[in-house]
Amino acid sequence: MQRHSISLALAACGFAAMLGGMPAQAEPTPEEIINGFEGVLGPVRTHRPSHPKGLCAAGHFTATAEGTRLSVAPVFNGQRVTTIIRFGVAGANPQADDRARSTRGLGIRFETAAGDVWDMANISAPIFGAPTPQSFLENLRVRAPDPAAGRPNAERIAAFVAANPAVTLQGAWLAATLPPASWATTPYFGVNTFRFRGQDGQVRHARWVFEPRAGVARLTAEQMQSLPRDFLADEIRQRIAQGPVEFDMVLQFPAAGDDLTNPTIAWPEDRPRAVVGRLTVTSAAAGPGGPCDPISFMTLDQEPGISLSDDPTLQARAAAYAVSLSRRTN
């Protein structure tokens, strides 16, 4: 039976925080997490609370022989698997600026011929914004508008940041990295660690990244000023009209001492890697909307081939995204 967890889209909303030095707290409920979002954004009923600006696309995925060896999950059976795809722009604004120094998103639903479904969401930064559900929620709460002032309490935010220096990690990475020139020319990271059971029965921890076969290309400083704020959708439509857009799915394996449960820490780039499949994007929607809109792109485990690690952020997500989706659709 498939077991769902949440999309990594929560990672890309720009609330990068780590909560340290505080006593252990109970795990936040799904309602508390979504209420934390709405405390900052107000009620969210018409769009996603994160990456609301996006484009639906479609294509297929085919595992490599190495992917089939490393996972017995149905999506890695080596056959062509249909995919529903969503490209996104971070933030809570459906009119977000495509030139902003924020993350881009790649949501994928894999649908095998046998009816197996696997959802995932990936971001264009190699690290997540918080190491635990508690820290994620606390960072939302400190940014909620003060009822008396009608705006966030700057001193409270500053105190939180000072007490938790890792709050700057994702933001610092984004500030130092030029935005993607295309949805097709940036890598997309799964960020969290999963367990992959191979044909040999061995279970291996791994993280994944989708690497663009077109190469990595970023905007120049001049393009950030001259391009229209909504260029990404037209750019990728034109690109797909010339031929499919492709990404290699690559697993990265940890070495001794690498943190398996803290997604705010990226593993060194010299860790062993394996190309396990290719994602091919063959069409894009002509306008807004499409089959991707009602999908949350929650990350699923596909037992016995793919299962969640002990990363607490993975354990908290399914129910929270279910609450968010129900509030948008009911």
Tell me the catalytic residues.
51
Alpha helices for the chain (secondary structure H): 30-41, 65-70, 133-142, 154-163, 169-175, 221-226, 231-241, 312-315, 317-329
Collapse the DSSP code of 32 into the 3-class scheme (helix H, G, I; strand E, B; otherwise coil) and give the result: helix
**Helix-helix angle 133-142:154-163, to 10 degrees:** 150
For residues 38 and 92, the answer to whether their CB atoms sit within 8 Å is no
Cis preceding linkage at 244, omega within 30: no
- DSSP class of residue 270 equals T
Distance of CA 62 to the CA centre of its chain: 21
For residues 188 and 210, the answer to whether their CB atoms sit within 8 Å is yes
